[in-house]
Structures are given as C-alpha cells and as structure tokens.
Chain A
Amino acid sequence: MKVFSNWQWFHRLGSPRWFYQTTGRWLPWLSVATLLVLIIGLVWGLAYAPADAKQGNSFRIIYIHVPASFLALAGYYIMAIAGAVGLIWRMKLSFMVMKAAAPIGAVLTFIALFTGAVWGKPTWGTYWVWDARITSMLILLFLYAGVMSLQYAYHSVDAASKAGAILALVGTVNIPIIYKSVDWWYTLHQPATIKLTSAPSMHPDMFQPLLVMILGFYLFYALVLILNTRSEILRRERKTGWVRELAQSKSGFDARAGD
C-alpha cells in the first residue's frame, strides 16, 4: 500500500486528460515567452552582435545552427526517455510524447544540417563532406525518420509504440558519438565552441545572444512538443467521454482549457 501511494503522483502524470487540461493553462504563457525570447535573441544576434573577425557576417547563421543542433540532440533523449517510460510503466501518455517528439526532432536535425551546408559553402568551400560529425548527424535524421515511420507501420498502436521505443533507445548510442565526434576523429567540422568544463571560445558580445537563442529554442521545443502531444491525445482518446464532451461544447478548446 505504501509503495502504491509513493508512485501515485507518477500515475496521475500519466493521465492524458490531466495532461491535456494542465498544459492548456500553460499554453498562452509559454507561447508569449517563446515568441519574446526568440525575437530578442534573433534581433540581438542578427543585428547587434559584432561580426566575426574572420568570417564576417556569415557567422551569424550560428544563431540558428547551434540552437537547432542542441535541441535535435536533447530532443532525442526526451523521445528515448519517453519511450523507455512507456515500455517500463506501460504509460500511454509517455508513448504519445515519444510519437510527438519524433517529427520535431527530425525537423530540427534537418535545420541543423541545412544551415550547416549553407554555412559550409562560404567558410569551408563546400556544402557537404562525409566527416564524422556531419555523417553522424545524418544518421540522427534517419533514426528520427525510423521512429516516425514505425508509428505507421503497425495496425496496433501498442505494437507501433513498443517498436518505436526500442529503436529510439538503441539510437541513443549515436548522441554521445555526435557530441564527441569532433574530438575522437579528425573532422572538417571544428570542435565545440560551448564547452561543459571551460569558458566558451567566443566573445561575450556574441555568446550572450547565442544563449538567448538556445533558451528560445528550448521554449519553442517545449511548446511544439506540448501542442503535438495534445493533438495526439485527442486523436487516440477520441472515443472517451471527456474528449466527446470537449468536442461538443460550443466554445470547445477555450472553455475546457481553463478548468
């Protein structure tokens, strides 16, 4: 009995209805905060931060490239952990979060690769090379695509969720490889500017807007993940009483979101 009460909060967290109603209250605040932080970061980084001594203005693509890459990697852990929680506790909501996280991560990975190619042409002299960093990042895109396509490869939602979670967990091995690739091998890509153990090798005037952009991308990620999960909740729970009630209520979303 004691064990049950200790884990009760965890099971309440797993209720799709509870999640839908709680996040409904967060959405307006989160949207405003995301928009504000991203606008501040973009204007600061693109207009006010000084140009780089060697690269000139082309270095400013860092304000999209690095935050997108950060979240492409962090988002993979979120997806894999959600998958693991779903496998262990058989929590429906957790699998929905996993499914919702996959396309977001795929898009962020694509943005990282695309901005990297655009940046590579003027600085390195090429759009693409098969070095360890870029290749491992491409594998990340395929892993996200794999988890996404597994969601549609089975008739049973349960089987699709389990298969997706296992692939997501197996793929976590790629994340430290991407992160350390520039140190483990000779690559065209330069080593990390933002390091865990020492100061960033970037002037503070350039680094501060980058931090704001990373925060903005985290907020944006949270916002899109919540929105995506909510629509998945409605889709999977469409036969339950509370979703029907929600659909029938005249003002729909607004009336229910607040209660």
Chain B
Amino acid sequence: MHSLRKQRLQLVILLVIATSLAVGLVLYMLRENGNFFYTPAEIMSGEAPRGVYLRAGGMVVDGSLQRADDSLWAQFKVTDGIETLTVEYSGILPDLFAEGEAAIASGTVDDNLVLQATEILAKHDENYTPPEVADAMSEAYKQKQLQQEGAL
C-alpha cells in the first residue's frame, strides 16, 4: 500500500478508536444514569431517592395482585429476587400485565416504602412461543411437579 494511504488508514483507525474510547469512558462514568428503572433491592436499601419521582422494575410476585371491587385501585408486589417492593396504583393496567411477568412502575416511594405509582408499563421478555406450545409446556411443568410431590 502507498505510504500516504497507509498514513490515512492509520488516521481513520485512530479516529474511530479515539471516539470509541472517549464515548466509552463517558458512558462508564454515567453507567448508573443509563438505567431506566431501579430494582426493588436498590429502593429498599435506600440507594434510590425517597419522595422523588422514579421508576421501579421487577417481576410481579405470584398471587400478590389485589384489586378493589369499586374502583381501579390495585396493589401488587414486584421482586428482583433479592427484595420485594409493594406498589399501589389507580388506573388501567396494560394488557400484558400479569403475575409472574415483569412490570415497571413510575411514581414516588412513600414513608412506608410503598411505591405510589402513576404509570404502570408491562415489560415483556424476549421469548416467543405459539399458544399450543406454551400450554403444553405449562402442562408438562405441572405434571412434573405432581410427580415430584408424589415421590415425596
């Protein structure tokens, strides 16, 4: 390769490496700020600010959803596997909101460590399955659990 072209090639590579390094360092410094939500553990440990509008995300705990009979009020718990956070919300829950699925609640954490949410978003996972396969899988899972219980 011609020496002038080699020089330009080196300049181009240097440009890409230098910008990547600069942006990489900035992102590393701001890494926590890039997060869209806090985990229940961060909120319960006091790492997340109190009384400030924030988002909390986690898995909706099975059997934790309670609804009022005469209003849109609902209460449920979200967990990240370490801590559990109670969320209260008055409004329509998204279609994909369900126990055992991930959800993100926006609002403020009150003194009783309950998140008073003004918006609930459902966070779906990256798995896609046809209904029959999903049914068959949950059926097989139940069977296996029954067998295990029988063995005990």
Residues of A participating in the B interface, judged by any CB pair closer than 8 Å: 3, 7, 50-55, 59, 62, 84, 87-89, 122-126, 129-132, 166, 169-170, 172-173, 177, 181, 184-188, 190-193, 201-203, 205-206
Contact = CB atoms under 8 A, between A and B. Distances in A.
Contacts of A51: 130-131
A167 to B, nearest CB: 11
Interface in B75-131: 94-97, 101, 104, 119-131
A88 to B, nearest CB: 4
Contacts of A125: 94-97, 119-122
A53 B132 CA distance: 8
Contacts, number: 126
A170 B128 CA distance: 36
B36 A203 contact: no
B1 interface: yes
Given A7-B1, A52-B130, A53-B134, A132 B36 contact: yes
Contacts of B123: 124, 188, 190
Contacts of B119: 125-126
Contacts of A172: 16, 20
Contacts of B126: 190-193, 201
Contacts of A170: 15-16, 19
Contact of B124 (A54, A169, A181): A54
Nearest to A205: B130
A169 B24 CA distance: 15
Contact of B131 (A50, A130, A181, A188): A50
Nearest to A190: B126
Given A53-B134, A193-B128, A205-B130, A88 B5 contact: yes
A141 to B, nearest CB: 18
Contacts of B97: 125
Nearest to A210: B128
Nearest to B28: A184
Contacts of A202: 127-129
Interface size class of B (residues with CB under 8 A): 35 or more
B108 to A, nearest CB: 18
A206 B131 CA distance: 12
A87 B15 CA distance: 12
A186 B37 contact: yes
Contacts of A126: 119, 121
A50 B135 CA distance: 13
A190 B124 CA distance: 6
A53 B133 CA distance: 8
Given A53-B133, A166-B15, A173-B23, 16 more contacts: A50-B130, A53-B130, A88-B9, A123-B94, A123-B124, A125-B119, A129-B36, A169-B16, A172-B20, A173-B16, A185-B34, A187-B36, A188-B37, A192-B126, A201-B125, A202-B127
9 contacts: A3-B1, A53-B135, A125-B122, A129-B36, A172-B16, A184-B27, A186-B57, A193-B128, A203-B128
